[in-house]
Amino acid sequence: MTPSMSEEHLVLLATGGTISSRTRADLGGAAVASDGADELLRSVGGAHAFPVQVVDVLRVGSYALDVDDMLLVCSRIREALADPSVVGVVVTHGTDTMEETAFLADLVQGDPRPVVFTGAQKAADAEDPDGPANLARAIALAGSAEAKGRGVLLSFAGEVFPARGVRKTETVRVHAFGNPDYGRDGSIADDGRLNLAAAKARRPAALPLPHPGAACRVDLVASYPGADGAHLRASLDAGAAGIVLQGTGIGNANPLLCQAVAEATAGGAVVVTSTRVNAGPVVPVYGAGGGKDLLAAGAIPSGFLRPSQSLVLLSLLLRLGSSREEIAAAFAERGGTG
């Protein structure tokens, strides 16, 4: 970390990802996270509205992160905001699991100061990297009064999204994110000009950060043609305390999976039903292994939360020691339309 500053400033937390990646000939041409926060800031050039203090948190591809790594990023955000001269925080992060870390950070964020995630689709050594412009816009957003009180934001390719509901929707295109259910907060131009919709009046209360070491296993299990209970039972055998079931359609499985879900909940595991579909809520409608049977088997519908963000919320709540009833209430509130 650079020496702390007493004047108003921003903090840039770097975690790796494509924005920091370079091609390594010694690794067969694989791209790996390489640049630290200092180099990332230098890549932007120019002057910013506030000085930027840089902190290296991690230097990895986000596909390799676990929930504890994500909680570490959240702790670093909290540490940064403990300093009253910090006006906002930018986190550079791989795009693969940015929707997880940004949502986790949002769940524990009670501070109105802006926290903005960004990254890149093209590596730092690409001919025309998108990282520097994304980072410049994220820095401008994090330093703006309009970004306050909105919870954690994701700024990418000129678009600004709330963390809740945001998803990586493109593997290659630079417009890599969408938020099918909760929409965009607005846009930010290359020169930092903002066009944001009015902020929501109320946000759910921030959840506490769990004590480090409060680890617990939460697995993602999919329903698909021919799925049975083998994966779910293997997760329980491996010690899973929670399961996110990636259902089909409106949140359905099949009779064999429903049976395994009933066994899991009877044994004290918490099961949440989400869906592989891009948009719309999970609603218990169908029998014969559908969502109504999953509900009867004790599974909690995720609302609008996709499997990725359901896993983050369930992991956090289980680490906090929440009961099944508290978890159901949290999904109803945070997975709803409010």
Extract the tokens encoding 299. Answer: 């599974």
Q: How far apart are CA 242 and CA 264, in angstroms?
A: 9
Residues lying near ligand ASP in the complex (CB under 6 A) are found at 17-18, 61-63, 94-96, 119
Q: Tell me which residue has its CB nearest to ligand ASP.
A: 94
Q: Which two tokens stand for residue 268?
A: 């004290």
Nearest CA-CA partner of 120 in 192, 17, 35, 43 = 17
DSSP state of 223: -
CA distance 273 to 250: 10
DSSP one-letter code for 161: E
Report in angstroms how near the CB of residue 114 gets to ligand ASP at its nearest: 22
User: Residue 19 CB, nearest distance to ligand ASP (Å)?
Assistant: 6
In the complex, what is the shortest distance from the CB of residue 62 to ligand ASP, in angstroms, rounded to a whole number? 3
Residue with smaller CB distance to ligand ASP, 94 or 301: 94
168, 120 contact by CB (below 8 A): no
Strands (E), 110-214: 115-118, 153-156, 159-162, 167-168, 177-178, 186-188, 194-196
Nearer to ligand ASP, 1 or 174 (CB): 174
- Tell me how long the chain is: 338
- Would you say 63 or 224 has its CB closer to ligand ASP? 63
> Of 61 and 114, which has the nearer Cβ to ligand ASP?
61
Q: Mind telling me the catalytic residues?
A: 18
The distance of closest approach from Cβ of residue 90 to ligand ASP in the complex, given in angstroms and rounded to an integer, is 15
